[in-house]
Amino acid sequence: LSLEQYHKIKPANSHYVSIVLPIAVPKLYTYIVPEELVESIQFGIRVEVQLGRSKLYAGLIIDIHHQVPEDHTPKPILSIIDQHPIVYPEQFKLWQWIAHYYSCSIGEVMNAALPSGLKLSSETKVILSPMYDPNLQGLDDKEFMICEALSIQNELSTSDIQKILNQKTVYPLMQRMINKKIIYLKEELKEKYTPKIVVCVRLQEPYISNPELLQEAFDKLSRSTRQVEALMAYVQLSRTQKVIRRAELGKKANVDSSVLKAMVKKEIFEFYDKEISRIGVYEDDLKDTFDLSAQQETALTELRTHFQDKNVALLHGVTGSGKTRVYIELIQEAIQKGEQVLYLLPEIALTGQIVARLQKIFGNDIAVFHSRLNNHERVEIWKKVFSGQSIVMGVRSSLFLPFKNLKLIIVDEEHDTSFKQFDPAPRYNARDSAIYLAHLHQAKVVLGTATPSIETYYNAQQKKYALVEMKERFGGIQMPEIIIVDAKDEWKKRKLQSHFTTVLLDELSAALERGEQAILFQNRRGYAPTLNCKNCGWSKQCKNCDVSLTFHKFSHNLRCHYCGYQSQLPTACPSCGERDLNLKGFGTEKIEDELKIYLPDANIGRMDFDTVKGKNAHATIINAFEEKRIDILVGTQMVTKGLDFDNVGIVGVLSADHLLQFPDFRSTERAFQLITQVSGRAGRKFKRGKVIIQSFNTTHPVLKEVLNNNFSGFFHRELEERLDFNYPPFNRLIKIVLKHKKPELLNHGAKLFSQILKDRMGKRVIGPAVPGIPRVRGQYLLVMMIKLEKNPKKIKTAKEIILKATQFMKAQKGFSTIRVNVDVDPQ
DNA sequence: AGCACGCCGACT
DNA sequence: GTCGGCGTGCTC
C-alpha cells in the first residue's frame, strides 16, 4: 500500500499507538489499531507487531492517539498479548529518565528492564510445502539438502539451515525456495513463560471430608502392603503439609507410580496438577528478638526526623555497627502500613547470610531477585511484585520491577561499584536511578555503608542528603587493631618469605593456635598473571585482546580474563626456544598453595571468581568457613562483602600496593573502601580482631587514614585532589569509547569525532587516548573523557553534541561501522 | 538488533 | 558469470 493510497482509504479517526520495541532503535514506532482491537488496547500492554519484512516483536504500548502518520503507511497491530498492563506509568517514566540521563535508547532500557520471559521475538521458521515431491527435478544440491532435512524434522529455523549448509548467508536460497513454492515461511511468536506444573496427590471423597473413614480405606487395601505403606506415608506427610507431590509421596513410601496409580483406580487417591513457585520459600518464622542498641535507636529516630523534610539519607555506620537492624525496623514500619520496600544490594553480597537473616524475620514477605535466577523465576517475581509483594531484595535490575506502592528504598553498600552497569547499555547506576525512582513514588531512600562514596558523602555534606552516623560497633566491641607491615624492610633484611611477612605468618599461627580463623585478601585471581620466558621475557598473548594470558593451575592452561580465550601451555618459548618458563606475579591460587608450605596444618580455602562459579559454590565455601572446616580463607574482593563470621581473629591484606597503583582517579577511594571493608571482617561479635596490612610503600597517606579509621581525613584530602583535577563530585564525567577492528580507520574516525566535540566544548574534552588494554575481543579501543560542570543545561547540551557527533561521523564513508559507547558517570 | 540490498573480489 | 563477504541504510 502506497502512502497516497493509504491516505485516500484510511478510516476516519482511527486509533494509532506508539510502541517501544526491545531493540536498540532510537525511536518509537507508530502502528494502526484495527477496529476490532480498539477496545482491548491500553497503556502498558504488549502487542504483536511486524517490523520489517519478517520480524515479529512484542512491543509495548506507551501512547494511544489519533494523529495520522504523515510520512509512512502504518502497519497494523497483529494481536494483543496482555489483557492487563505489565508496566505502570511510573515504571515507564523511570525508563525514560534512564534513557535520557544515560544517553541510550528506550528500547535498550526496555531490554534491561523486562525479564526475557516477557520479551518475545520471532524466529523465522520454514516448513515443507505439502505439494513437495521428492522425485521433483530441478533442485540444486543445497535445495535438496534442505528438503531432505525438512522431511525428517518438519520445520527448520534460519540458524538450522545455516548449520546444515555450513554457510552464513541463507536468506537468498530460502527466498528462492519460497518463490519456487517448495517451502513456506512459518512465523510465530512463542510465549517463553510456562508455569512449572507438578503432579500432586490428594484423597478422594468421601475420605477428604470424612477422615474417620480412612480406616475403611486401610482395610480395603490390606491385601497390598505397598499400598498400605503409601497411604500411611500420605497420612504422615499430610500432618505437616497441605500439598503432597506424587514424586515426594513415592519416595517417602518407597513405591513407584504404578502403586499410586492402582490406588487412584481404587478411588482412594486422585492426581491433580498444581502450578508451583520456582522460588524457594522460607517457612520458618523466627523473629529477631534482641533489642536495639542505644546507637541504633538514635539512628532510627534521626532517620525518621530527617525524612520529614529530606527524601534521601546517608546512613554511615562503621562495619559491625548493626545497620541491618536499623533497616529491619524501617522495613517493618513500612510493611505494617501496607507499603512496598525495595532493598538493593550488590550482586555478591546478596548470596547468603543477609538474605537468610531477613527471611528469618519477614519469611515469604520477601522476594529475592538476583542474577542467577532463570527466566521463569524472574517472570514469577515480576508477577508477585505486580500483585503487591511487600519486600524485594535484589540486585540493580530489581529497580525495574512493577512496584505500585513503593515507599522505601534501601541501597546497602551504597559505595559498591557493581551498582553501575557498564556493558551493555543502559549504563545506569542503580543507586542514582533508585533516587529518581523514589522521587516518582514519593518514597524515601536510605543509602547505607561503612565507607561512603565521595559523591554521596559530598551530597550529605552539602545537605542534599541527610546524614546519620553510627560510629561504634554493636555490643561495644572495639574496632580492630590495624598493623601496617613494611614488606620492603623485611625484603631488604631477607626475612620476607615469598609473599608473607614474618609478622603476618606469626600472627596467623598464633591465631590458629587460639582456635581462631583468618581471612587473607588478595586482589587478583588465577595462579600467576603470566607465564614468562626466562631468557627473552616472551609471554603468550591473547589472540583477541592485547593482554598476556593468565596461568590457571586448576585447569592447567592459559586464559584471557577479558574474552575467555583459552590456550594450552607452551612447552618451550616459541620465540627463542628456551625451555625454562617462569611464573610471574601472584594471585589467590598461588597464595593458597604457598600458605600450605608455611602453615601445613591449616585448612585453607579459596574464594574467588573461579571457585564460586557453580550454582551453590559460593554458599558451600561460606558454610565450610562458618562450620570451621576452613581455618584460613584466601580470597578476592568477594571476601570483603556482606560476610559476618564470629571467629575471625586475623584479617590480612597481602598487598595494599596493588590497590593503590591503578591509574584511575578512583583508585585511592577504592583502596580505602576495600581495606576498610575487609578489616571489618575481623573480630566481630567475639572480641577485638587484628588486621595486618602488608605494603612496600607504607608512607601512602591512605594507609594512615585506614589505620586511624579516619574517614573524614581521607574524604577531605581526596576532595581537594578531585577539585584540583576537575573530577566528581565537582564535575560530571562522560566517557566515550570508540571501537573498531581496524586501528587506522578507528584513529581517523576518532579524530573527526573528537574534533567536533572539541569545537563545541573545548578543553573539557580529553583524548582520544589508547586505553590500558588497547584491544579487546578483536576490537581496537580509543577512549575520550568529557569533564562537565554540574549544570543541567550544559550536561543536556553535551549529550546532544555527542549524539550529533556520532551521527555525523557515522554518516562519513567507512566510519559507519565504528561503534560508539557513551558512559555517563563512569565508575 | 536483524535483514536486505548493493558493491566488490574470488572462484567454478 | 555467480557466490559469498562486507558495508550501509531502514524498519512504523
Nucleotide nearest to A175 (CA to C1'): B4
**Which residue has its C-alpha nearest to nucleotide C11's C1'?**
A52
**Angstrom distances, CA of residue A443 to CA of A13, A58, A308, A419, A696:** 41, 31, 12, 20, 48
**Strand C reaches within 7 A of the A22 CB:** no
Sequence-distant (≥ 6) Cβ neighbours of residue A45 within 8 angstroms: A60, A61, A80, A81, A82, A83, A84, A85, A86
**Strand C reaches within 7 A of the A29 CB:** yes
Q: Which three cell numbers stand for residue A706?
A: 585506614
Each residue's pLDDT tens digit, A336-376? 999 999 999 998 666 667 888 888 889 889 999 988 788 77
Cβ atoms of residues A693 and A485 within 8 Å: yes
**Strand C reaches within 7 A of the A815 CB:** yes
H or E element at residue A324? helix A323-336
pLDDT of residue A160: 78
**Strand B reaches within 7 A of the A52 CB:** yes
**Strand B reaches within 7 A of the A171 CB:** yes
pLDDT of residue A513: 92
> E strands along A284-398, which residues?
312-317, 340-344, 366-369, 391-394
Integer distance in angstroms from CA A148 to C1' C5? 28
- Helices marked H in A102-187 — which ranges? 106-113, 141-153, 158-165, 171-179
**Which residue has its C-alpha nearest to nucleotide C10's C1'?**
A52
CA angle A711, A717, A722 (to 5 degrees): 115
For the segment 775-814 of chain A, residues whose CB is within 7 A of strand C: 811, 813-814
Cα gap A326→A337, rounded to integer Å? 17
**Strand C reaches within 7 A of the A34 CB:** no
The number of CA neighbours under 13 Å toward the Cβ of A505 is 18
Please tell me what DSSP assigns to residue A420.
Answer: B
Each residue's pLDDT tens digit, A660-715? 877 688 989 999 998 898 888 887 555 788 999 999 889 999 999 999 989 999 99
Residue where the block lists cell 555490643:
A475
**Angstrom distances, CA of residue A324 to CA of A328, A453, A456, A687, A785:** 6, 19, 19, 20, 38
Question: Where does residue A777 fall: left (phi above 0), alpha (psi -120 to 50 degrees), or beta otherwise?
Answer: left
- Helices marked H in A562-662 — which ranges? 588-598, 617-626, 656-660
Integer distance in angstroms from CA A197 to C1' C12? 39
Instruction: Please name which of A420, A459, A429 lies closest in space to residue A728, comparing C-alpha atoms.
Output: A459
Integer distance in angstroms from CA A171 to C1' B8? 20
Integer distance in angstroms from CA A814 to C1' C8? 9
- Report helix, strand and coil shares of chain A as percent, to nearest 5: 40, 25, 40
Integer distance in angstroms from CA A781 to C1' C10? 28
Cα gap A806→A821, rounded to integer Å? 10
- pLDDT: which is higher, A622 or A287: A622
In percent, the amount of chain A with pLDDT more than 70 equals 92
Integer distance in angstroms from CA A165 to C1' B11? 18
pLDDT of residue A279: 53
For the segment 142-161 of chain A, residues whose CB is within 7 A of strand B: 158
- pLDDT: which is higher, A617 or A261: A261
Nucleotide nearest to A24 (CA to C1'): B1
Cβ atoms of residues A187 and A126 within 8 Å: no
Each residue's pLDDT tens digit, A466-502? 999 999 988 878 888 999 999 999 988 888 888 899 9
Q: Which nucleotides of strand C lie within 7 A of protein CB? A: 4-12
Q: Which three cell numbers stand for residue A183?
A: 517451502
- Give the best-scoring range by mean pLDDT among A180-189, A211-220, A273-282, A699-708: A699-708
Q: Which nucleotides of strand B lie within 7 A of protein CB? A: 1-4
**Strand C reaches within 7 A of the A72 CB:** yes
Cβ atoms of residues A638 and A607 within 8 Å: yes
**Strand C reaches within 7 A of the A57 CB:** no
User: DSSP characters for A467-535?
Assistant: EEEE-S-GGGPPPPEEEEEEHHHHHHTT--BTTB-HHHHHHHHHHHHTT-EEEEE-S--SSBSEEEETT
**Strand B reaches within 7 A of the A105 CB:** no
- Radius of gyration (Cα) for chain A, nearest Å? 31
pLDDT of residue A290: 66
Nucleotide nearest to A72 (CA to C1'): C12
Neighbours of A70 (CB within 10 A): 7
**Strand B reaches within 7 A of the A178 CB:** no
**Strand C reaches within 7 A of the A175 CB:** no
Integer distance in angstroms from CA A379 to C1' B5? 39
Please state the rounded mean pLDDT for residues A787-800: 94
Sequence-distant (≥ 6) Cβ neighbours of residue A716 within 8 angstroms: none
pLDDT of residue A286: 38
Integer distance in angstroms from CA A744 to C1' C3? 30
pLDDT of residue A781: 92
Neighbours of A440 (CB within 10 A): 16
Integer distance in angstroms from CA A142 to C1' C3? 13
**Which residue has its C-alpha nearest to nucleotide B5's C1'?**
A172
**Which residue has its C-alpha nearest to nucleotide C6's C1'?**
A817
Nucleotide nearest to A49 (CA to C1'): C12
Each residue's pLDDT tens digit, A420-478? 998 899 999 999 999 999 999 999 999 999 999 999 999 999 999 999 999 998 887 88
Q: What rounded mean pLDDT belongs to chain A?
A: 86
Nucleotide nearest to A170 (CA to C1'): C4
Nucleotide nearest to A51 (CA to C1'): C11
User: DSSP characters for A561-575?
Assistant: TTT--EEPPPSS-TT
Each residue's pLDDT tens digit, A81-111? 888 898 999 999 999 999 999 999 999 999 9
Integer distance in angstroms from CA A590 to C1' B1? 43
Sequence-distant (≥ 6) Cβ neighbours of residue A299 within 8 angstroms: A315, A317, A326, A468, A469, A470
CA angle A651, A652, A655 (to 5 degrees): 150
Nucleotide nearest to A52 (CA to C1'): C11
H or E element at residue A668? helix A667-679
Q: Which three cell numbers stand for residue A227?
A: 499400598
Integer distance in angstroms from CA A52 to C1' B2? 9
Integer distance in angstroms from CA A813 to C1' C3? 26
Instruction: Please name which of A598, A452, A448, A617 lies closest in space to residue A520, comparing C-alpha atoms.
Output: A598
Q: What is the pTM of this model?
A: 0.81
Cα gap A430→A242, rounded to integer Å? 40
Nucleotide nearest to A108 (CA to C1'): B1
Partners of A715 in the beta sheet?
A: none
Cα gap A671→A691, rounded to integer Å? 15
pLDDT of residue A533: 83
Nucleotide nearest to A19 (CA to C1'): C12
Integer distance in angstroms from CA A166 to C1' B4? 20
pLDDT of residue A567: 86
pLDDT of residue A458: 98
pLDDT of residue A814: 86
pLDDT of residue A164: 81
**Strand C reaches within 7 A of the A25 CB:** yes
Integer distance in angstroms from CA A24 to C1' C5? 25
For the segment 305-334 of chain A, residues whose CB is within 7 A of strand B: none
- pLDDT: which is higher, A418 or A209: A418
Nucleotide nearest to A75 (CA to C1'): C12
Cβ atoms of residues A106 and A805 within 8 Å: no
Cα gap A804→A799, rounded to integer Å? 9
pLDDT of residue A478: 84
pLDDT of residue A527: 52
Integer distance in angstroms from CA A729 to C1' C4? 53
Q: How confident is the model at residue A760 (pLDDT cuts 50, 70, 90)?
A: very high
Nucleotide nearest to A745 (CA to C1'): C7
Q: How confident is the model at residue A526 (pLDDT cuts 50, 70, 90)?
A: low
b/e A703-712 (16+ beta carbons within 10 angstroms → b) = bebbbebbbe
Each residue's pLDDT tens digit, A527-585? 556 788 887 778 888 887 777 888 877 778 888 877 777 888 888 888 888 888 877 76
Nucleotide nearest to A167 (CA to C1'): C4
pLDDT of residue A582: 79
